[in-house]
């Protein structure tokens, strides 16, 4: 199917504006994506027609709100090919999903002396919850190394890391600062052979490529709605049903109980056991619309376009004279590029680019340990989505050339 990608821009009113007098080039999609009209319209419709609390009422609006919320759960199950909607827990986002597993699964399954295996390219969201668990339990964190020069996971070291005391292996699908795409199905298979539980951080992948949790073979997978055309404040934690049923609650409160007495309570089955309190109902409805929108375009098409933009940008940046360091793999990368211009701080690049209407991100990208390994404190990052164009990349590279001239390098 041939897609006119630039026509899709009309679905995103925010893109049609000037910033500091220049047409906006939005290249901060790895932080959060922009929102299509269809998603915004779904939120408006929900609040104007159906708004009520879920699961509690027996009036029409509550029934409608509950139906919308549960339809979103079923849609999320189809979106990642889960076996059942009972495997879908709504969270605030990837960070909360990982914290939920570290807290609830960790309390039951991790003891002093156990190991949690991570990779050196994890986002802080997939490091700090495990550090907190390690502090509580006396467990230890171990990391699969990243090859410093090309930014790939050193899979030759994986088997050596999968020792009998490893309880869980948590890995990112796509690195938010390197653009590396990890072979998660293979990584999970190797862990599973040894009876190790697995978690995939799909924050950067869920809205960018097809995700099939059965094919990946993971026990948990977490993603955020706001990075894939959905609203902020809603995310999904997938958990394999057998694993979820054995997990204690995460937080206590309304919605998650069967029966409460003064001194003890009993819990609902998964996923409701993990959703205490009033959930983000409109967020789920908006996420439903976002998933429909993405699948109308087709995630295989989005993945291909992403990779084309990533490769185009990488090649164009490589041709920049005056000194540029590019991070991450040369080929097979996702649609983002991290870089440093010689002798110019990443924050200066981002600040001057902003004056030219180009929205980039500069900093450690919540990857401080990885930055340390790469020997830098920060990078500048351009991250793309399907509504971006090669013309925008040309404009961005031109701006970088001007920045080099401005700083005299």
Ligand X SMILES: Cc1ncc(COP(=O)(O)O)c(C=O)c1O
CB 245, min distance to ligand X, A? 25
Using the contact rule CB under 6 A, the part of the chain among 57-65, 128-136, 197-205, 290-298 near ligand X is 197-205
Q: For residues 166 and 237, which CB has a smaller minimum distance to ligand X in the complex?
A: 237
Q: Which is nearer to ligand X, 103 or 125 (CB)?
A: 125
Q: Which residues within the stretch 216-255 sit at the binding site for ligand X (CB under 6 A)?
A: 224
How many other CB atoms sit within 10 Å of the CB of residue 145? Answer: 16
Contacts within 8 Å (CB) and 24+ apart, 56-60: none
- What secondary structure does DSSP assign to 240-289, as a single string? -HHHHHTPPPSS-STTSEEEE-SS-EEEPPTTGGG--SS--HHHHHHHHH
For residues 97 and 271, which CB has a smaller minimum distance to ligand X in the complex?
A: 97
Count of chain residues binding ligand X (CB under 6 A) = 13
The contact pattern for ligand X, residues 287-326, with x = CB under 6 A and - = no contact, is ----------------------------------------
Letters for 118-157 (x = contact with ligand X by CB under 6 A, - = none) are -----x-xx-------------------------------
Nearer to ligand X among residue 87 and residue 201 (C-beta)? 201
**By CB under 6 A, residue 106 contacts ligand X:** no
Comparing CB distances to ligand X, the nearer of 85 and 128 is: 128
Q: Write down the least CB distance from residue 153 to ligand X, Å.
A: 14
At closest approach, how far in Å is the CB of 367 from ligand X? 9
Catalytically active residues are 366
The reply to whether 94 sits near ligand X by the rule CB under 6 A is yes
Q: Which is nearer to ligand X, 126 or 282 (CB)?
A: 126
Structure tokens at 150: 């090309």
Peptide bond into 178 cis (omega under 30): no
Q: Tokens at residue 20, please?
A: 């500091």
- Asked whether position 180 contacts ligand X by CB under 6 A, the answer is no
Query: Which of these, 114, 119, 117, 116, lies nearest to 153 by C-alpha position?
Result: 119
Considering all CA atoms of the chain, what is the largest pairwise distance in Å, rounded to the nearest integer? Answer: 72
Cα-to-chain-centroid distance, residue 27: 16
The answer to whether residues 238 and 254 touch, using CB atoms and an 8 Å cutoff, is no
Q: State the residue for tokens 């171990």.
A: 142
- Considering only CA atoms, which of 352, 386, 366 is closest in space to residue 31? 366
Using the minimum distance from each CB to ligand X, give the nearer residue, 66 or 126. 126
Q: How far is the CB of 402 from ligand X (least distance, A)?
A: 28
Pick out residues in 257-276 that bind ligand X (CB under 6 A): none
Cα separation, 241 vs 9, whole angstroms: 39
Q: Cα(84)–Cα(110) distance, rounded to whole angstroms? A: 27
Of the listed pieces 132-140, 157-165, 199-207, 284-292, which binds ligand X according to CB under 6 A?
A: 199-207
Q: What is the 3-state secondary structure (H, E, C) of 35-54?
A: CCHHHHHHHHHHHHHHCCCC
Contact status: 99 vs ligand X (CB under 6 A): no
Q: Is the CB of 30 or the CB of 161 nearer to ligand X?
A: 30
The rounded distance, in Å, linking the Cα atoms of 290 and 302 is 14
Binding flag, residue 172, ligand X (CB under 6 A): yes
Task: State yes or no: residue 29 binds ligand X (CB under 6 A).
Answer: no
User: Residue 176 interacts with ligand X (CB under 6 A)?
Assistant: yes
CB of residue 125 vs ligand X: minimum separation in angstroms? 4
Residues 6+ apart with CB under 8 A from 386: 5, 8, 297, 301, 302, 305, 306
Shortest distance (Å) from residue 188 CB to ligand X? 17
Report the nearest approach of ligand X to the CB of residue 121 (Å): 9
Q: Which one of the spans 151-159, 198-206, 245-253, 273-281 is the region binding ligand X (CB under 6 A)?
A: 198-206
Confirm or reject binding of residue 338 to ligand X (CB under 6 A). no
Please state the closest distance from residue 334 (CB atom) to ligand X, in A. 11
Hey, CA dihedral for 148, 151, 155, 156, is it positive or negative? negative
Give the CA dihedral 113, 119, 120, 125, nearest 10 degrees.
-90
Q: Please report where in the chains the tokens 């890995």 appear, as a residue.
A: 171
What residue has token string 């955020």?
224
203 in contact with ligand X (CB under 6 A):
yes
95 touching ligand X, by CB under 6 A? yes
How far, in Å, are 156, 251, 329 from residue 149 at the CA level? 16, 42, 9
Q: Can you list the positions of beta strands (E) in 62-126?
A: 88-91, 115-119
Using CB under 6 A as the binding rule, whether residue 33 contacts ligand X is answered as no
| Contacts to ligand X by CB under 6 A | 30, 93-95, 123, 125-126, 172, 176, 201, 203-204, 224
């Amino acid at each position: 199917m041939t897609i006119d990608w630039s026509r899709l821009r009309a679905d995103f009113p925010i893109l049609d504006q000037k910033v500091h007098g220049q047409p906006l080039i939005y290249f901060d999609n790895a932080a959060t994506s922009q929102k299509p009209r269809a998603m915004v319209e779904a939120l408006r419709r929900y609040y104007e027609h159906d708004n009520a609390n879920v699961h509690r009422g027996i009036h029409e609006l509550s029934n409608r709100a509950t139906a919308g919320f549960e339809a979103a759960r079923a849609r999320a199950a189809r979106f990642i090919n889960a076996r059942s909607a009972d495997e879908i827990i709504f969270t605030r986002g990837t960070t909360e999903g990982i914290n939920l597993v570290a807290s609830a699964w960790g309390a039951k399954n991790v003891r002093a002396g156990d190991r949690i295996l991570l990779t050196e390219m994890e986002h802080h969201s997939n490091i700090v919850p495990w550090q907190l668990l390690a502090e509580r339990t006396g467990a230890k964190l171990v990391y699969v190394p990243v090859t410093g020069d090309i930014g790939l996971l050193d899979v030759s070291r994986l088997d050596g890391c999968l020792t009998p005391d490893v309880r869980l292996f948590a890995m990112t699908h796509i690195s938010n600062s390197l653009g590396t795409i990890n072979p998660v199905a293979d990584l999970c298979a190797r862990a599973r052979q040894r009876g190790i539980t697995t978690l995939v951080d799909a924050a950067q992948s869920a809205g960018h490529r097809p995700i099939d949790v059965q094919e990946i073979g993971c026990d948990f997978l977490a993603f955020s709605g706001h990075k894939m055309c959905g609203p902020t404040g809603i995310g999904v934690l997938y958990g394999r049903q057998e694993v979820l049923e054995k997990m204690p609650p995460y937080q206590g409160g309304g919605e998650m109980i069967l029966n409460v007495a003064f001194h003890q309570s009993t819990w609902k089955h998964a996923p409701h056991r993990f959703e205490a309190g009033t959930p983000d109902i409109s967020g789920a409805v908006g996420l439903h619309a976002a998933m429909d929108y993405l699948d109308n375009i087709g995630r295989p098409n989005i993945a291909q376009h992403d990779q084309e933009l990533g490769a185009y940008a990488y090649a164009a940046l490589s041709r920049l004279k005056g000194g540029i360091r590019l991070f991450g793999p040369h080929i097979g990368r996702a649609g983002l590029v991290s870089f440093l211009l010689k002798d110019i701080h990443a924050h200066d690049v981002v600040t001057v680019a902003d004056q030219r209407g180009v929205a980039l991100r500069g900093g450690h990208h919540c990857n401080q340990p990885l930055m340390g390994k790469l020997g830098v404190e920060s990078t500048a990052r351009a991250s793309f989505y399907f509504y971006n164009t090669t013309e925008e990349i040309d404009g961005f590279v031109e701006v970088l050339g001007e920045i080099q001239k401005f700083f005299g390098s």
